[in-house]
Amino acid sequence: MWKGIIREYPDFFRFSDDKNVITIHEGNTPLVQAPRLAQKINPKISIFLKYEGLNPTGSFKDRGMTMAVSRAVESGSKAIICASTGNTSASAAAYAARAGIKAFVVIPEGKIALGKLAQAMIHGATVIKVLGNFDDALNIVKQISQEYPITLVNSLNPHRIEGQKSGAFEICDSLVGGPPDYHSLPVGNAGNITAYWAGYKAYFDYGKIKSLPKMIGFQAEGASPIVQGRIFEKPETIATAIRIGNPASWKKAEQARDDSGGLIDSVSDDEILEAYKMVSSLEGIFCEPASAASIAGLVKKSAQGLFNGGERVVCTLTGHGLKDPDNAIKVSREPVTCEPETKKVLNVLGF
Ligand code: F0G
């Protein structure tokens, strides 16, 4: 039985006392080949989807949260705090519940997908909505965690990045023929692209792999500070998970990009929604809009001639589509209502 990333990768995540390990058996998510998507985007490349929506709270955040909360418990902390566009707060709330400690989460009012808010609430976190954006919330929680005995579990906490490296380990362990040529990710606060690159490098140094992928990251156009080289005071995008104007790991993401020979570009909301529909309708895999930025980026870069043919590309689908039912309904065909009669239903079916 899979026991969670800390216990599955003991060479990388060391705990002197196993009782401090707080886990909901995160990780071990499927790496699914996507031939129909590749056929549509570029038949000459192979696309694999790392479906992080299948983590315990439905996003990749659980990989970092198991580490951050376990270390918090190890150090005797009784409370954690984070700012979040939704997924970090859902994960923090769940792992705090599991640990029996308090969670305080600060989110931007009105810009959180419904499922994520429900998660933070049901797990018993104290949820504070600020009348501002994620960047405002992050500044507040940073200050509080410096002055009070509350552990910050945003990705400024290095244990978060440590745990998130495990996504790269799993890909290397399961992809036949070694690591991919390219790894595509959405970029928000820029922790995940930093973590994946660190994970690939750690596996390389450990002698587990013999090559490294190029990291390619995609921000939403209306929240693309790294691409534009300036802070966005008022970031806006349909992909609320990555609605961030001043990413905490900005410099580290640029380093991952440059060290790997990759790139960070932006995609429009229309391109994100198109990719969102494409992956769900062609592959049966439901992710949230922000996750689809990784696929929208492939569409854009493929059209610009990035690939020669034969490349293997992994896209991380960072969060489950069920977190954001509102956007799914908005972009889909309406159900048809009809009388409870077979004939009427057949009529709708076109028979
Ligand atoms: N995809 C999803 C679904 C996310 O929730 C996030 C970040 C990202 C991508 C971007 O990852 O920040 O490491 O570059 N969500 C954070 C949160 C900000 O608060 O849940 P990143």
C-alpha to C-alpha distance for 224 and 228, rounded to whole angstroms: 6
C-alpha of residue 220 to centroid of ligand 1, in Å: 12
Residue range 82-95, pLDDT digits in tens: 999 999 999 999 99
**Which atom of ligand 1 is nearest the CA belonging to 291?**
1
Instruction: Identify the pLDDT of residue 70.
Output: 98
> Confidence band (pLDDT; 50, 70, 90) for 151?
very high
Instruction: Identify the pLDDT of residue 119.
Output: 98
Residue bearing the CA closest to ligand 1, atom 12: 189
Residue bearing the CA closest to ligand 1, atom 19: 84
Q: Answer for the pair 106, 137: CB distance below 8 angstroms, yes or no.
A: yes
Identity of residue 55: N
Which residue from 51, 52, 54, 87 has its CB within 8 A of the most atoms of ligand 1, so it is best to mutate? 87
Residue range 290-349, pLDDT digits in tens: 999 999 999 999 999 999 999 999 999 999 999 999 999 999 999 999 999 999 999 999
With a 6 Å cutoff on the Cβ, whether 57 touches ligand 1 is no
| 153 Cβ neighbours under 8 A, 6+ residues apart | 65, 68, 69, 72, 80, 81, 82, 88, 92, 160
Instruction: Identify the pLDDT of residue 308.
Output: 97
User: How many other C-beta atoms lie within 10 A of the C-beta of residue 134?
Assistant: 31
Instruction: Identify the pLDDT of residue 300.
Output: 98
C-alpha of residue 324 to centroid of ligand 1, in Å: 14
**Which atom of ligand 1 is nearest the CA belonging to 155?**
13
C-alpha to C-alpha distance for 302 and 148, rounded to whole angstroms: 49
| 347 Cβ neighbours under 8 A, 6+ residues apart | 338
Q: What is the pLDDT of the chain when averaged over all its residues?
A: 98
Instruction: Identify the pLDDT of residue 240.
Output: 97
C-alpha to C-alpha distance for 2 and 69, rounded to whole angstroms: 19
Residue range 215-271, pLDDT digits in tens: 999 999 999 999 999 999 999 999 999 999 999 999 999 999 999 999 999 999 999
Using alpha carbons, select from 180, 316, 303 the residue that is nearest to residue 242.
Answer: 316
> Confidence band (pLDDT; 50, 70, 90) for 66?
very high
With a 6 Å cutoff on the Cβ, whether 167 touches ligand 1 is no
C-alpha to C-alpha distance for 165 and 153, rounded to whole angstroms: 16
Which residue from 52, 81, 85 has its CB within 8 A of the most atoms of ligand 1, so it is best to mutate? 85
What's the rounded mean pLDDT across residues 98-126? 97
C-alpha of residue 217 to centroid of ligand 1, in Å: 12
Instruction: Identify the pLDDT of residue 34.
Output: 98
With a 6 Å cutoff on the Cβ, whether 186 touches ligand 1 is yes
With a 6 Å cutoff on the Cβ, whether 194 touches ligand 1 is no
With a 6 Å cutoff on the Cβ, whether 180 touches ligand 1 is no
C-alpha of residue 12 to centroid of ligand 1, in Å: 23
C-alpha of residue 340 to centroid of ligand 1, in Å: 44
C-alpha of residue 346 to centroid of ligand 1, in Å: 44
| Element housing 80 (H / E) | strand 79-83
Residue range 153-195, pLDDT digits in tens: 999 999 999 999 999 999 999 999 999 999 999 999 999 999 9
Residue range 20-52, pLDDT digits in tens: 999 999 999 999 999 999 999 999 999 999 999
With a 6 Å cutoff on the Cβ, whether 242 touches ligand 1 is yes
| 57 Cβ neighbours under 8 A, 6+ residues apart | 24, 87, 90, 91, 94, 119
Instruction: Identify the pLDDT of residue 141.
Output: 98
